[in-house]
Structure 1
Amino acid sequence: MKKPVFKKVFKFTLIAGLFSGILFTVAAPTAGNKTRIVRLAENKLDERLAMYTTLKLDSLGLSKEAFAYALAGMEKLGREGKLSNPDVLTIADFSLPSSKKRLFVIDLSKGEVLFNTLVSHGRNSGTALATNFSNAPESFKSSLGFYVTGQTYRGEHGYSLRLEGEEAGINDNAMSRGIVMHSANYVSEQIAKLQGYIGRSLGCPAIPEKVHRQIIEVIKNGTCLFLYSPDKAYMANSKMLLPTDTTVV
């Protein structure tokens, strides 16, 4: 009975609290029945959250949830020293169908949307909409969650970008699975118009050929990539979205 209530309250607190510009807190029980307060937003984060409105990200289709979660997770990665470039944030919003431009590359320091384009999901994750996700080898499914971009290389799909999954049990097999960002001719608006959805990958977030090099050059070497979906299993198991031993009040 408590589990769904937890999810509902947390979701409301995250979206309503952050987007009203008010710091929200998470209280966790400690010894002696005292509570410690975990602040999940600071002034800089509040300023970045305001970009959802100033950049008109809603009109581009990016969900508030995806943006809020992405900023909170990115801040955590930054505190852990995992980001070489904390000003560039990339979000693939898999709550949108693949016919929509659901990849967003945002320069947070300049307050600019650098790219908004198509991105594929894995062939076994769904057809037009990604609804099934996996960290397993040979699953040919997308893995949700937070990644740190790595180095570039030239491989089977040409100029490509390595991705390091940061969530244990959720996407940490990305390297061994060969999950990278690369270009694909099946990621195109023409194909989307023809059949209602773009082609699918073996699990990689593939992007259009005409912009892949520009995007990879901007996001390579230590930026945050967040693959989002309002997937119940991900929300319940990700440790990037909420500190582990906490209860929402």
Structure 2
Amino acid sequence: MRYTQEIRAVLVAALLAGTAGCQSVGEKSQATAAAVPGQRQPLAPDTLSPAAALPDSLRPTVLAPVPGLSDSLRREVAALHQALGPAAQALRPAVLERACVGYLTLRHAGRIRRPGVLAVADMDLPSTEKRLWVLNLKDRKVVHRSYVAHGRGSGWVRARRFSNRIKSACTALGFYRTADTYAGKHGLSRRLHGLDRGQNSNALDRYVVLHGADYAGPEYLRQHGQLGYSRGCPALPPEQYRAIINAVGEGACLLLSGPGLESKWLDGAVAARQLAARGWQ
């Protein structure tokens, strides 16, 4: 099979991209050896085919509307998206809709404590795009937008496999509550509580945290054509990770969105009642 020069470049970048750990203080070291030029890093079986790096595979999955969502709430989310301006243009409306419904439902249930702050990462987009947004819902502003790395078990340029399993090295989809900070091997880090049983509920045991990493920044992207990989953490650029970790704070809502996401927190009726009663607070 003959590849174009563009496709060949993507494949080479995927082979050269490094891996890194996401350990917390006190975790036993299970570091993966650094990438060797010309040697493929171990990935999940469904990402080993060269077709995984073809441009067609970078097209995001079409998402259906949240079932049971009222027209009024859908209009509110559309108005929010418009008010967020150019910084949110690449934030797909269907992803924002899911993030907002989950945020409102979790607020109604008392599972998140930081009002008006919503972080959402569209992990269905390739790692070459800035696919993480931190939103101020009250002021309708994008506080931060950045790159974010996915787990090495999830795929190459685009994450295609997700897992809650310990040692899977995969990104786990679902809603998270941000927790406390600590000084780890990557510096300032913020723990995450997975709120979707079976999908991300092992986050604490897997040491899935927000942290900074060189392989998640624009310089690494410039050199390798894509970001490197974490072991499941949503790793952030070294230039932005402190600001983002501080902006989300403790008790906020984070959604890692991707294909196949199912969540009991996507309850349109409860979200509508919460918005009517409390607004975005």
Same-fold call, TM > 0.5?
yes
Which residue of the partner structure matches residue 118 of structure 1?
147
User: Is the contact made by 2:83 and 2:141 (CA closer than 8 Å) also made in structure 1?
Assistant: no
Which residue of the partner structure matches residue 266 of structure 2?
241
Letter in 2 for 1:205: P
| SS of alignment partner, residue 99 of structure 2 | helix
Which residue of the partner structure matches residue 28 of structure 1?
none
| SS of alignment partner, residue 129 of structure 1 | coil
Which residue of the partner structure matches residue 34 of structure 1?
none
Q: CA-to-partner distance for each residue in 1:130-180, whole Å, 9 max, x for gaps? A: 110000000000000100000111111110000000000000000011000
What is the Cα deviation at residue 14 of structure 1? 5.3
CA–CA distance in 2 between the matches of 1:115 and 1:69? 19
Which residue of the partner structure matches residue 133 of structure 1?
162
Whether 1:221 aligns to 2:279 is no
Q: Which ranges in structure 2 are unaligned for 5 or more consecutive residues?
A: 1-62, 269-281
CA–CA distance in 1 between the matches of 2:249 and 2:143? 14
What is the Cα deviation at residue 240 of structure 1? 2.1
User: Is the contact made by 1:49 and 1:71 (CA closer than 8 Å) also made in structure 2?
Assistant: no
What is the Cα deviation at residue 49 of structure 1? 4.0
Stretch of structure 1 that moved more, 52-61 or 148-157: 52-61
Whether 1:153 aligns to 2:178 is no
Q: CA-to-partner distance for each residue in 1:66-120, whole Å, 9 max, x for gaps? A: 1000000011110011222120100011121101000100101111101011000
User: Is the contact made by 1:48 and 1:108 (CA closer than 8 Å) also made in structure 2?
Assistant: no
TM-score (norm 1): 0.77
Which residue of the partner structure matches residue 131 of structure 2?
102
**For residues 57 and 89 of structure 1, do their structure 2 counterparts lie closer, same or farther at Cα, with a shift above 3 Å needed?**
farther
**For residues 176 and 57 of structure 1, do their structure 2 counterparts lie closer, same or farther at Cα, with a shift above 3 Å needed?**
farther
Letter in 2 for 1:186: Y
User: Is the contact made by 2:88 and 2:142 (CA closer than 8 Å) also made in structure 1?
Assistant: no
**For residues 219 and 65 of structure 1, do their structure 2 counterparts lie closer, same or farther at Cα, with a shift above 3 Å needed?**
same
Letter in 1 for 2:213: A
**For residues 190 and 77 of structure 1, do their structure 2 counterparts lie closer, same or farther at Cα, with a shift above 3 Å needed?**
same
Bigger relative contact order, structure 1 or 2, given CA contacts below 8 A and separation 6+? 2
CA–CA distance in 1 between the matches of 2:252 and 2:168? 26
Letter in 1 for 2:157: A
What is the Cα deviation at residue 46 of structure 1? 4.8
2:110 aligned residue (81, 86, 91): 81
What is the Cα deviation at residue 190 of structure 1? 2.3
**For residues 67 and 14 of structure 1, do their structure 2 counterparts lie closer, same or farther at Cα, with a shift above 3 Å needed?**
farther
CA–CA distance in 1 between the matches of 2:94 and 2:106? 18
TM-score (norm 2): 0.69
Please give the root-mean-square deviation of Cα atoms over the aligned residues, in Å: 2.1
| SS of alignment partner, residue 226 of structure 1 | strand
CA–CA distance in 2 between the matches of 1:70 and 1:204? 19
Flag the structure with higher strand content. 1
Which residue of the partner structure matches residue 38 of structure 1?
none
2:233 aligned residue (204, 215, 223): 204
CA–CA distance in 2 between the matches of 1:64 and 1:183? 27
Which residue of the partner structure matches residue 181 of structure 1?
210
**For residues 46 and 78 of structure 1, do their structure 2 counterparts lie closer, same or farther at Cα, with a shift above 3 Å needed?**
farther
Letter in 1 for 2:99: A
Letter in 1 for 2:218: E
Report sequence identity in percent. 36
1:169 aligned residue (184, 195, 198): 198
CA–CA distance in 2 between the matches of 1:59 and 1:47? 15
Letter in 2 for 1:239: K
CA–CA distance in 1 between the matches of 2:65 and 2:176? 25
Which residue of the partner structure matches residue 11 of structure 1?
64
Which residue of the partner structure matches residue 23 of structure 2?
none
What is the Cα deviation at residue 196 of structure 1? 2.2
